[in-house]
């Protein structure tokens, strides 16, 4: 089961951009992430990248896609 949590999402007027952050609970592990709304959509980055190294590329892309969907749909908590 995957649980995506968006802890914060806010607009920075000074920089005219949006920031978001949260965590993902996946396979009994917790992964933290941050995101910034750029010219081409949300750029989602793992926090503490070393914690994400145990994920295969396919699973990492799936999790990033879920985070992106949650941000666009304004969901703060999503479980699948």
pTM: 0.85
Domain positions in the chain are 2-79
**Residues 6 or more apart whose Cβ sits within 8 Å of residue 36:** 17, 18, 19, 20, 42, 43, 45
Tokens coding 49 = 């990248």
Task: Show the beta-strand stretches assigned E in the chain.
Answer: 2-12, 17-26, 29-38, 41-46, 77-79
pLDDT in tens, 10-57: 999 998 889 999 999 999 999 999 999 977 889 999 998 777 888 999
């Amino acid at each position: 089961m995957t649980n995506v949590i968006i802890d914060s999402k806010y607009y920075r007027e000074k920089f005219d951009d949006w920031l978001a952050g949260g965590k993902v609970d996946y396979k009994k592990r917790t992964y933290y992430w941050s995101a910034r709304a750029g010219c081409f959509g949300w750029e989602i980055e793992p926090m503490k990248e070393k914690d994400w190294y145990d994920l295969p590329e396919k699973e990492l892309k799936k999790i990033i896609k879920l985070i992106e969907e949650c941000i666009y749909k304004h969901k703060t908590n999503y479980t699948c």
